Chains A and B, each alone.
Chain A
Amino acid sequence: EAGVAQSPRYKIIEKRQSVAFWCNPISGHATLYWYQQILGQGPKLLIQFQNNGVVDDSQLPKDRFSAERLKGVDSTLKIQPAKLEDSAVYLCASSLDKGQYYEQYFGPGTRLTVT
């Protein structure tokens, strides 16, 4: 089966610019996650969707980050305006359903560099 797809793979922008990332989860997966992985650290959950509704966005910097999952399939994550500290790899993951039991499958990530 096809895995989680993400694009672009790499992005370089200047601070105060905006950027958007796209994620296509595994077909049939109801739950979608966006993680931020700063160099030298483990991934940190930014937002979790169940179908097209938000389950958890407690660690999403809502003054600059936004995410949507229209129609409960693809998702986009946007940063506007970007700051230097937003430089990181943004990982998308999906699972069949939410909860402890369900394995999360990760995409290859988008590496963002803010200069």
Chain B
Amino acid sequence: AQSVTQLGSHVSVSEGALVLLRCNYSSSVPPYLFWYVQYPNQGLQLLLKYTSAATLVKGINGFEAEFKKSETSFHLTKPSAHMSDAAEYFCAVNGGSNYKLTFGKGTLLTVNP
């Protein structure tokens, strides 16, 4: 079985501050890992994905994530938050025998001016 745990259902940062959204996973096979963003009343948009190549993955809008196998983590970071980053972020793992995408519960990011 595979699972995803996102630590912190709500993270609040000031504009210009570092964004850190935490994700831990479990998977019985080498996983592919994803971060998606969801703006209000919209579907999910892929930010970045890890596919067993480089452990540091760069995505859109200045986000990046580092795969750490020893810690089973895939935390999402951005050096400087922008107001437009306010949204809900979902970490997901695709692994296991049936390669089904399993999502975490999400982290709501608010950015204060």
B43 touches A109 (CB 8 A): yes
Please give the distance in Å from A22's CB to the nearest CB on chain B.
Answer: 15
Count contacts between A and B, CB distance < 8 Å.
Answer: 52
A106 touches B44 (CB 8 A): yes
Return B69 CB to nearest CB of chain A, in Å.
16
A43-B103 Cα distance, complex, nearest whole Å: 6
- Kindly identify which residue among A4, A41, A56, A107 contacts B98, using a CB–CB cutoff of 8 Å: A56
Q: How far is A91 from B105 in the complex, measured between Cα atoms in Å?
A: 15
The total of chain B residues at the interface (CB under 8 A) is: 24
Whether B43 lies near A100 (C-beta < 8 A) is no
**Known contacts A91-B44, A100-B94; A56/B105 CB under 8 A:** no
Q: Is the interface of A mostly helix, strand, loop or mixed?
A: loop
Instruction: Contact check, B49 vs A103: say whether CB atoms are below 8 A apart.
Output: yes
A44 in contact with B103 given A101-B32, A103-B46, A108-B42 (CB within 8 Å): yes
Q: Cβ of B32 and Cβ of A41 under 8 Å apart?
A: no
B100:A56 contact, CB within 8 angstroms? yes
Q: Say yes or no: B32 contacts A104, CB within 8 Å.
A: no
Q: A41-B106, A44-B103 are in contact. Are A100 and B95 (CB under 8 A)?
A: yes
- The answer to whether A61 has its CB under 8 Å from any CB of chain B is no
CB distance from A109 to the nearest CB of B (A): 5
- Please, which residues of chain A bring their CB within 8 A of the CB of B42? 108-109
22 contacts between A and B (CB under 8 A): A40-B105, A42-B4, A42-B92, A42-B103, A42-B106, A43-B44, A43-B90, A44-B103, A48-B100, A91-B43, A93-B43, A99-B99, A100-B95, A100-B99, A101-B32, A101-B51, A103-B49, A106-B36, A106-B44, A106-B45, A107-B43, A109-B42
